[in-house]
Amino acid sequence: MEIRGIRVWDGERDRGVAAVRWRGDRIEDVAAWDEDRHPGLSLIPGLIDTHVHLVSYAGPDAVDYLTWPLVTPQVEQVLHGVAHALRALRVGVTTVRDLAADRSQVAIRHAFDQGVLLGPRVVAHGLVGMTAGHGDLFTPPDVIDRPPTADGPDACRRLVREYARMGADGIKVTTSGGVLSAGDRNEWRNYTRAELEAIVDEAHALAMPVAAHAHTRAGIQAALDVGVDSLEHATQITPAQAREAARRGVTVAPTLLILERIARGDTAVPEASRAKAQALFAARGEALRRAAAEGVEFVLGTDASGRHMPFGMQLDEVRAMARDLDLGDEGALVAATSRAARAVGMADRVGRVASGFHPDFVVVRGRPWQRIEDLTPANVVAVVARGQVVVGRVADDGTVVAGDPPEAAPATLGMWT
């Protein structure tokens, strides 16, 4: 297949008007083309969201997000995960990394990779967390049958190995408390140095990168000290920590909108969670802008889970990154494409429009690398994933025919309000 005569931004720079040709799941050629046959349209790489949680309730009703996983069989949960993945795909997110994956996400990944369903590429990280840690406290304390936790270095190594056996692509670890976990505090230490060293050592020995959930300075430092590969949230990052992260190439997913939405009451959560979000939100803008000035490599990571941060809001997050972190239009787009590809270990395959890469593209109205406000669901004209057209149509003569714009993210309904 081929799209001829369209302005191409390749994940790093403006390539001018070009023709993009692909066969199956591989781009064969990106070559200059004389005639602009798609005035006002641009072709950019599919976006990569480095931090999502696919499996949560995906319907329009208000459900209790803490209870739903307990009362819904796993076979049914998987369908919701697929729905979320497809919702993201329709706005142009062609790769997602799930940071609390179990067999559900691995099953979804298999179904998409095998072509059973046309979905985004899924990268699955298994969560290693302590008893009473951020991950554990999504399950109410008196529930007996709970997702796994690990305490002590040996148990941590064992859980990492179990995820490797399951087919996980990487590991997520928590090094501070969190906002939506019930009953903990942001400041709670999650794991000792010995446990974190065991987790990172074991994961790296099995070729699995480690993403660290960390809000607090202490949590961020603990994660940096043991050599994690990415920081998630990094809400209280200091300039010194920012320099260290930049020097080591540790990417940071700032998850801007979810914390803002919870802090402002745009999504209903228990009062304790809202208070935790507000405490973190107050000083975050300044900390992250300073981190950006220190050269931190920010990547798109939304923490989308359907409810507090709906799938389909990834484009809103990219615009927020440009605005709130002073990344600039092109800088925010790099953070959502070629750099995000590196963060998820796929720098040689996705995030760029270049020969040898996978054909994952979005065709949008406007020039988002010059004017990031152009990057909205309403401006999405076509989406190509795994070489197949998901939104819009590509005619035999290489012309893009616009499809219906993907629906904007559904409004979330209140449960506690």
Binding site residues, Zn ion, CB under 5 A: 303
Cβ 104 to Zn ion, closest distance in Å? 15
Q: What is the 3-state secondary structure (H, E, C) of the chain?
A: CEEEEEEEECCCCEEEEEEEEEECCEEEEEEECCCCCCCCEEEEECEEEEEECCCCCCCCCCCCCCCHHHHCCHHHHHHHHHHHHHHHHHCCEEEEEECCCCHHHHHHHHHHHCCCCCCCEEEEEEEECCCCCCCHHHCCCCCCCCCCCCCCHHHHHHHHHHHHHHCCCEEEEECECCCCCCCCCCCCECCCHHHHHHHHHHHHHCCCCEEEEECCHHHHHHHHHCCCCEEEECCCCCHHHHHHHHHHCCEEECCHHHHHHHHHCCCCCCHHHHHHHHHHHHHHHHHHHHHHHCCCCECCCCCECCCCCCCCCHHHHHHHHHHHCCCCHHHHHHHHCHHHHHHCCCCCCCCCCCCCCCCCEEEEECCCCCCHHHCCHHHEEEEEECCEEEECEECCCCCEECCCCCCCCCCCCCCCC
Cβ 312 to Zn ion, closest distance in Å? 17
Q: Name the residue whose CB lies closest to Zn ion.
A: 303
Cβ 346 to Zn ion, closest distance in Å? 20
Cβ 368 to Zn ion, closest distance in Å? 26
Cβ 351 to Zn ion, closest distance in Å? 21
Cβ 253 to Zn ion, closest distance in Å? 9
Our CB check for Zn ion shows the closer of 136 and 303 to be 303
Our CB check for Zn ion shows the closer of 42 and 236 to be 236
Our CB check for Zn ion shows the closer of 232 and 316 to be 232
Our CB check for Zn ion shows the closer of 262 and 363 to be 262
Our CB check for Zn ion shows the closer of 4 and 215 to be 215
Our CB check for Zn ion shows the closer of 303 and 317 to be 303
Our CB check for Zn ion shows the closer of 305 and 337 to be 305
Cβ 352 to Zn ion, closest distance in Å? 26
